Structures are given as structure tokens and as C-alpha cells.
Amino acid sequence: MTGRQTRSTIGMLAPATGLIAIFVLVPMVLTIGLSFTQWSTQTGFETASFVGLANFADLLGPTSIGRDFRAAFGNTAIYTALSVALILPLSVMLGLLVHQTFASGGILLRTVLFSSYMVPMIAVALVWSKLYSPTEGPINQMLGWVGVPPQTWLSSPRTALVSIVILNVWQQVGYFTVLAVAGLTQIPRSLYEAALVDGASAWMQFWRITLPLLRNTLLFSAVIAVINAVQVFEPVALITQGGPVNSTNVMTYHIRRVGIERAQGGLGSAMAVTLMLSLIVVIVLLFTLLRDRGEQR
């Protein structure tokens, strides 16, 4: 490589790489380092004192630190599992409706679904907090029309987390629908034509052709859905503040409360590291379970 080429390579890469290094990679390394220290977020990094694995021991221990953390971890796990379990099948179903050309309305549906993905989460949270209102909210009113008794939604520890899952699914499903449509367009038409010749029903075509060939799309969607789900913050910060009775205290909210608001930077970092490790485990598991191994075709 000539000197000129080296210079232009560095010149082109420096801004983006430098910024990402300083504002993402360095903080990532710092998070790991700080997780082994006791450190107040209000003071400089030099005040951090090494405590070994004490923070992690606290997270697993019997004190309120451990109990609150494990509750938040559990809530996030439930929240993530429910979100993925709802988003994936919905995205395929809606994707089929958007993709098909037999009936009209597909593009309208895509526009409506994707519009909600553009809406700031804070507005979503505000609107749904009113929709869920037990007395003045239209959701309980509509349930009443079909004879379903009023639900408690955000006001009961039993239903609050699920209520937040629902509003989150509503907001995000449009994005995953577009991903599903992208996957559907990759499936060769000839496969369906061959299936039709063999007399396969639409139902069988779906299970034997569509779903298996959407596998990689679904794997990707699942990974993104998991990563998005652990980031839920606005509805909790705005409406429930983690309540009622800690039922919606999720990881992003909890880590910020401990690490920023209570300035326990070391402890908060240990929580962040635990979250990161758990995410890696989940993603590796998803890959092992869902990756197309090739032998089934």
C-alpha cells in the first residue's frame, strides 16, 4: 500500500472509528473494570477502589441489593420471553398479509404498522396509560361490550408487566413485519408452484415451505427482539416507576436507578456486566436452536 492510500484509509476511517471507540468501546471496557470496584458515579474514576467480586457476591446475596436485582432480572426475563413469543408469530402472520397480492390493503397495513414504530416511546407510554385507564379508558369499555369484566392493567402487580409488553409489541411489530416480508420475498415462487402441482394445501405449504425458509429471518428477528426488550425504559420510568410492588422494575430502569440516581457506579456496572453476559448466553442459545443446519432441506 502506498503512503497516499494509507493516509486516505486512515482519513476515511478515523472520524467514525474514533468516535465509536471513545463513546462505545472505552465505556464498555470501563463498565467491566468498574464492576470490580466500589465507586461513586459523582466522583472521578480515580476514586474507584478495587473490591474483587464483592459486587457480584452482593447481586447473588441475601440482602435487599440482591433481592431487588434478581427481581429486576426476573422481570426482564419474563418481559423478554413474552415479547419475543408475541412478536415472532405476529410478524409472520402480518407479514403474510402485507406480502400477499390476492387481496388489497397490504401496503396500507404496512404503513399503519410501521408508523407506530416511528412514534416516540414516551408518546406511546402516555397514550397507552390513558387507554389502559380502568374507568375512563376505552380498552375496558370495549371489553365490556363483549362481556369481559374490567381489567386492572397497569394498576395491579399481576397485570402491569404484561400490559407494558402489549404496548411494546404494538409499537414494534411493524418493524418485525417488514423483516418478515423481506424474508418472504426471498422464497422462490417455483417452490409454491411445485407444491400446488403436488396438491399441497395452503396450510401444508405454510408449514413445509414458508416457515422453514423463514428460519434465518426469524433467528435475526428473535435476536433483535431480545436486544430491544432489555432496553424497555420509558413506560416504566414514566408510568409505573417500577411498581406496583416492584412488578415492572426492569433491568434498564434498575441499573440506571442504582448507577446514576444512587451513584453506586461499581454496583451498577456489575449489574450491566451481568446483563451483557446473560444477553450473550441467550443469543448463543438462539443461534444453536434456530440456525439452519442445512440437513433438513
Partner 1 sequence: MSAMRPYRRHPRTWRRTALTLVILAIAVAAAFPLVWMVLSSLKTPEESMQVPPVWWPGSPSLDAFTEVADVVNLGRSFVNSAFIAIVTTVAIVVTSLMAGYAFAKYRFKGRDWLFAVLIATMFLPPIVTLIPLYRLTGYLGLNANLLGVVVPNLANAFGIFLMRQYIKGVPDDLIDAARVDGASEFLILFKIVAPSVLPAIAALTLFAFVYHWNSYLWPLTVLQGNTDQYPIVISLSRLLSYNRGAMNTGLVMAGATLAVLPPVILFVFLQRFFVDSIVATGVKG
Residues 264-293 that bind partner 1 (CB under 8 A): 265, 268-269, 272-273, 275-276, 279, 283
Q: For 243, phi and psi rounded to 5 degrees? A: -90, -170
Pick one of 49, 62, 64, 136: the residue that binds partner 1 (CB under 8 A). 136
Burial of 248 (0-12, 13-18, 19+ CB in 10 A): buried
**Please, which residue, 62 or 257, has the CB nearer to partner 1?**
257
**Please, which residue, 82 or 94, has the CB nearer to partner 1?**
94
CB of 9 to partner 1, least distance (A): 5
Site for partner 1 in 168-207 (CB under 8 A): 170, 174-175, 178-179, 181-182, 185
CB of 220 to partner 1, least distance (A): 6
Nearest residue to 279 via CA among 23, 89, 77: 77
CB of 44 to partner 1, least distance (A): 8
Site for partner 1 in 45-74 (CB under 8 A): 45
- Is residue 121 a contact residue for partner 1 (CB under 8 A)? yes
- Is residue 146 a contact residue for partner 1 (CB under 8 A)? no
Pick one of 233, 243, 278, 290: the residue that binds partner 1 (CB under 8 A). 233
Radius of gyration of the chain (CA): 24
Nearest residue to 99 via CA among 213, 254, 8: 213
Site for partner 1 in 9-38 (CB under 8 A): 9, 11-13, 15-17, 19-20, 22-28, 30-31, 34
Q: Return the C-alpha torsion angle 207, 209, 212, 214, nearest 10.
A: -110
**Please, which residue, 54 or 220, has the CB nearer to partner 1?**
220
**Please, which residue, 85 or 237, has the CB nearer to partner 1?**
237
Nearest residue to 65 via CA among 254, 228, 193: 254
- Is residue 87 a contact residue for partner 1 (CB under 8 A)? no
**DSSP bridge partners of 50:** 37
Supply 16's cell numbers. 467514525
